[in-house]
Amino acid sequence: MTVHHLNQLLLVCSLVLLVAVAAVRISSRSGLPSLLLYLGIGVVIGQDGIGDVHFDNAELTQVIGYAALVVILAEGGLGTKWKEIRPALPTAAVLSTVGVAVSVGVTAAAAHYLVGLDWQPALIIGAVVSSTDAAAVFSVLRKVPLPSRITGILEAESGFNDAPVVILVVAFSTAGPVDDWYVLIGKIALELVIGAAIGIAVGWIGAYSLRHVALPASGLYPIAVMAIAVTAYAAGAMAHGSGFLAVYLASMVLGNARLPHWPATRGFAEGLGWLAQIGMFVLLGLLVTPHDLLDDAWPALVIGLVLTMVARPLEVVLSLLPFRMPWQEKVLLSWAGLRGAVPIILATIPMVSGVEDSQRIFNIVFVLVVVYTLIQGPTLPWLAKKLRIGGSPEAADLGIESAPLERLQGHLLSVGIPKGSRMHGVEVAELRLPAGSAVTLIVREGESFVPLPTTVLRRGDELLVVATDPVRDAAERRLRAVGHGGKLASWLGTDGEKH
């Protein structure tokens, strides 16, 4: 690749990102899930679209998809509140194990008997689409006012069920005979235990370190948090555990540890999460060939109908037998089993493994995800309203940061009073700052306090002045004038000198 090629690549990627950012606005206004718009961008610039970009590297797509999923799970874990997810852990654990088995069996049977697929591709499809998607759940559910118990169950399920599903898809995609059911259960249990142990340990060690080690710049904390989360994934995967479970649990531990500069960390993680979603969905849109989807559209609709109307409700009902839950909440849980990029990424595993009919498997999964996400996502708030299920009006967390104040169109000025400054002995009211600015805090001899209008300023004080954008420059000029001319600066120029 030459520098010229790099320039072209950067231009195309930046334009795609800008279009994707604009698509988020369209998504929020129209109610369409943003993932569909991102997939559409990939399709438009693909070989059947106006961009005519030929891309068919399933292995690269799988690798990038895994990396993006790590970031998405990390961002989701950082935003998960322990107080909400703790009561949901038993329910989510059963849905992620027993529920996945029920869904795989019912969906695979439908793919075999109704569509006519052989048992291997039928089982692969059943396993692939049985995983609820973390990106879809995190992005949709946080906009829907649901009870914290429902939200906790769905978020925990989407964070937990990737691990057993990946194991099943890999097992069904092997060329040789599939392991016995008890061997698969043992592998799933072992990977979950290893991943959970490593994720909790890495998250705890990382949180303890960040609370006790003062980093020299606040911008290093977000980088450190994301690095710790990725470390949990890599360590869990290399230890033959579930890296996806490890990164989710490690991020959840970090997210509930009251770390320094937390609003900046959440903003950084949210930005990376959006970038991962955009890149992943656009790449998946590039991988698909739209004109090849028509032949597999009907099988996808049939399998998706069975998955949505039979497999998912049966999964929820059987999994929740040990738990007391109203039928309205069970209906909502059944409909809220959102699919997204994860099933499409998992559909690349049989393509990389060389499974027969792997391209058809991918096409069926792609159409299924697009169609039923388009149906389920926008109708979820309507169903919650019809079932009279709504979240309690809890106080929202405040996003508090020390600076900057761009969103408020304001500035935070730090003003020191050095030796020789004529601001010494001036009262706060005598500063006569322009309307829209005020001295909000004074730091004196290591202690801070909120000043009164009659507070007398002293040498060595540090003033924190808040000024709105229109008067920021005027406030600074006034402070400099008082520093040079004292309280009589109104008869002097802005620099404190007589005209």
Task: Enumerate the domain spans of the chain.
Answer: 33-386, 406-491
Calculate mean pLDDT across residues 282-293: 82
Secondary structure in 3-state letters for 148-182: HHHHHHHHHHHHHCHHHHHHHHHHHCCCCCCCCHH
* Tens of pLDDT, residues 373-404: 888 877 887 888 888 876 544 444 434 444 44
Check pLDDT > 70 for residue 336: yes
Domain 406-491, CATH: 3.30.70.1450
Burial 103-132 (b: 16+ CB within 10 A, else e): bbbbbbbbbbeebebeebbbbbbbbbbbbb
Name the pLDDT band for 345 (thresholds 50, 70, 90).
confident
Closest by CA position to 335, among listed 378, 300, 298:
378
Calculate what percentage of the chain has a pLDDT beyond 90: 24
Rounded alpha-carbon distances, angstroms, from residue 9 to 12, 38, 178, 373: 5, 18, 43, 31
Q: What does the CA dihedral 336, 340, 344, 346 come to, rounded to 10 degrees?
A: -60
Strand ranges (E), 80-209? none
What confidence tier does 493 reach under pLDDT thresholds 50, 70, 90? very low
Q: What pLDDT shows up at residue 139?
A: 64
Q: What is the DSSP letter of 282?
A: H
Contact between 472 and 464 under an 8 Å Cβ cutoff? The reply is: no
Average pLDDT over residues 331-342: 83
Mean pLDDT estimate for the chain? 83
Other C-beta atoms closer than 10 Å to the C-beta of 221 total: 18
Query: What is the pLDDT at residue 393?
Result: 43
Say how many CA atoms lie within 13 Å of 482 toward its Cβ.
22
User: 468: Cβ–Cβ under 8 A, 6 or more apart, which residues?
Assistant: 409, 410, 411, 436, 437
Flag the least confident range among 109-123, 237-251, 411-425, 435-449.
411-425
Residue 238 has pLDDT above 90, yes or no: yes
Q: Is the pLDDT of residue 60 over 50?
A: yes
Helix (H, G, I), strand (E, B) or coil at 54: coil
pTM of the predicted structure, to 2 decimals: 0.72
| Of the options 2.60.120.200, 3.30.420.40, 3.40.50.300, 1.20.1530.20, the CATH number for the domain spanning 33-386 | 1.20.1530.20
Q: Is there a contact between 248 and 76 (Cβ–Cβ < 8 Å)?
A: yes
